């Protein structure tokens, strides 16, 4: 618990492990061990952490009795969005989701640049940094996509809704100016996942997507495992020309909210585990499930930090 708190406080200060280590006079590897729960900071380090994070030592060490089961995350995110509340769960979700999901797909924007776009609707350039216009557009679009997803989160999942997600994500990008790319509609040309894994051919996408939606909506009970199963099947079809990973991950977040399951954001740092999970899922489901459950634990700590300390 202490390690998780240190990590969350550090991330909310937008600091690296190296920057915290420098203040404490230890190696970055030591901070990593603190956060993993392998090593506990001594009293001097606790004092410095307390000062750095602007919380008491008691706050760092106290046992958290916060009951996550009583929290409706969808209500909280919607309320904070309407309030335009800064520096809390909705604000942090927007930045973390846009940065990580786009970075997994190759975006070059930093987390600070992502935050700056969200907070100021402008781009922060550092030194000789060059940013792709599409990276900027897709980051801004992802903020809109999350807002729309929150609006329809409790609605039934349909093909029409999924296509609308894709249209929002790709609006105004260079892809949207290419006719055959078919923004907001299913792909017209064959594509692959990662390093050449074949996906459903364009001629069969409509049929397989219809079957997938029918299967999902026929389920009597939806748990996180059914949501992950849907994600694997969706990514195997790869229905859009591009943007399938981001659309797939926003669908998982939506469906968690709809079913009162703690949602999650796959971190860029865990993308290799995520890709392995997708690749091996047919034979071993555990890799992808574990990656998603780990991401859920991380989002739970985010909720605990912002909502549990009221």
- The pLDDT of residue 143 is 98
- Residue 65's pLDDT is what? 63
- Say what the pLDDT of residue 95 is: 97
Per the CB < 8 A criterion, the answer to whether 292 and 262 are in contact is no
* Phi, psi of 193, rounded to the nearest 5 degrees: -105, 135
Residue range 265-277: mean pLDDT, rounded: 95
pLDDT > 70 in the chain, percent? 96
Question: Is it the case that residue 129 has pLDDT exceeding 80?
Answer: no
For residues 248-252, average pLDDT:
98
Token pair 């790709």 is found at 170
Report pLDDT for 186: 97
Both tokens of 241, joined, read 């020309």
Radius of gyration of the chain (CA): 20
Does the pLDDT value for residue 5 go beyond 90? no
> Which among 217, 215, 188, 214 has a CA at the least distance from the CA of 200?
188
Contact criterion met (CB below 8 Å) for 180 and 164:
no
Residue 124: the pLDDT is 80
Condensed to tens digits (0 to 9), the pLDDT of residues 76-127 reads: 999 999 999 999 999 999 999 999 999 999 999 999 999 999 999 998 887 7
The predicted model gives 280-299 an average pLDDT of 95
65-74, 158-167, 217-226, 281-290: segment of lowest average pLDDT? 65-74
- Does residue 234 register a pLDDT over 70? yes
Average pLDDT over residues 29-42: 90
Alpha helices in the chain (DSSP H): 2-12, 17-24, 28-36, 43-53, 57-61, 73-83, 89-104, 111-120, 133-152, 159-170, 202-218, 224-237, 244-258, 271-280, 286-307
SS3 296: helix
* Residue with the larger pLDDT of the pair 207 and 63: 207
Superfamily classification of domain 2-61: lambda repressor-like DNA-binding domains (1.10.260.40)
* 64 — pLDDT class (breaks 50, 70, 90): low
Q: Which residue has the higher pLDDT, 10 or 70?
A: 10
- CATH class of the region 69-307: mainly alpha
Residue 68, pLDDT score: 80
Pick from 26-30, 104-108, 166-170, 189-193 the range whose average pLDDT is largest: 166-170
Mean of the pLDDT values across residues 230-253?
97
User: Which pTM was predicted?
Assistant: 0.80
Q: What is the pLDDT of residue 235?
A: 97
Quick count: other Cβ atoms within 10 Å of Cβ 24? 19
Residue 113 has a pLDDT of 92
The 8 Å CB, 24+ separation contacts for 20-26 are 20/49, 20/52, 23/48, 23/52, 24/48, 24/49
Ranges of each domain in the chain: 2-61, 69-307
Please report which confidence band the pLDDT of residue 197 belongs to, taking 50, 70 and 90 as the band edges. confident
What's the whole-number average pLDDT of the chain? 92
- Over range 214-224, report the average pLDDT: 97
pLDDT, residue 69, reads 76
């Amino acid at each position: 618990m202490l390690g998780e708190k240190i990590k969350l406080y550090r991330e909310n200060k937008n600091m690296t492990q190296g920057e915290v280590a420098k203040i404490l006079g230890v190696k970055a590897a030591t901070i990593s061990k603190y956060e993993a729960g392998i090593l506990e900071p001594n009293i001097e380090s606790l004092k410095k952490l307390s000062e750095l994070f602007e919380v008491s030592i008691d706050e760092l060490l106290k046992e958290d009795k916060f009951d996550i089961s009583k929290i409706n995350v969808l209500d909280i995110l919607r309320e904070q969005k309407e309030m335009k509340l800064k520096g809390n769960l909705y604000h942090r979700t927007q930045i973390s989701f846009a940065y990580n999901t786009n970075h997994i797909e190759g975006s070059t924007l930093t987390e600070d640049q992502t935050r700056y776009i969200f907070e100021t609707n402008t781009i922060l350039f550092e030194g000789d940094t060059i940013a792709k216009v599409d990276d900027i557009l897709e980051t801004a679009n992802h903020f809109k996509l999350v807002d729309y997803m929150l609006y329809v989160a409790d609605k039934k999942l349909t093909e029409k809704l999924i296509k609308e997600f894709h249209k929002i994500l790709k609006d105004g990008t260079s892809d949207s100016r290419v006719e055959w790319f078919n923004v907001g509609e299913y792909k017209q040309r064959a594509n692959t996942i990662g390093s050449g894994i074949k996906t459903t051919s364009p001629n069969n996408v409509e049929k397989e997507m219809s079957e997938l939606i029918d299967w999902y909506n026929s389920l009597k009970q939806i748990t996180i495992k059914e949501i992950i199963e849907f994600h694997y099947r969706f990514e195997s079809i790869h229905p859009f020309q591009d943007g399938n990973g981001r659309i797939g991950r926003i669908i998982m977040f939506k469906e968690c909210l709809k079913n009162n399951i703690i949602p999650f954001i796959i971190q860029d740092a865990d993308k290799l585990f995520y890709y392995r999970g997708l690749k091996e899922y047919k034979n071993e489901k555990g890799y992808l499930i574990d990656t998603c459950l780990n991401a859920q634990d991380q989002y739970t700590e985010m909720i605990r930090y912002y909502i549990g300390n009221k």
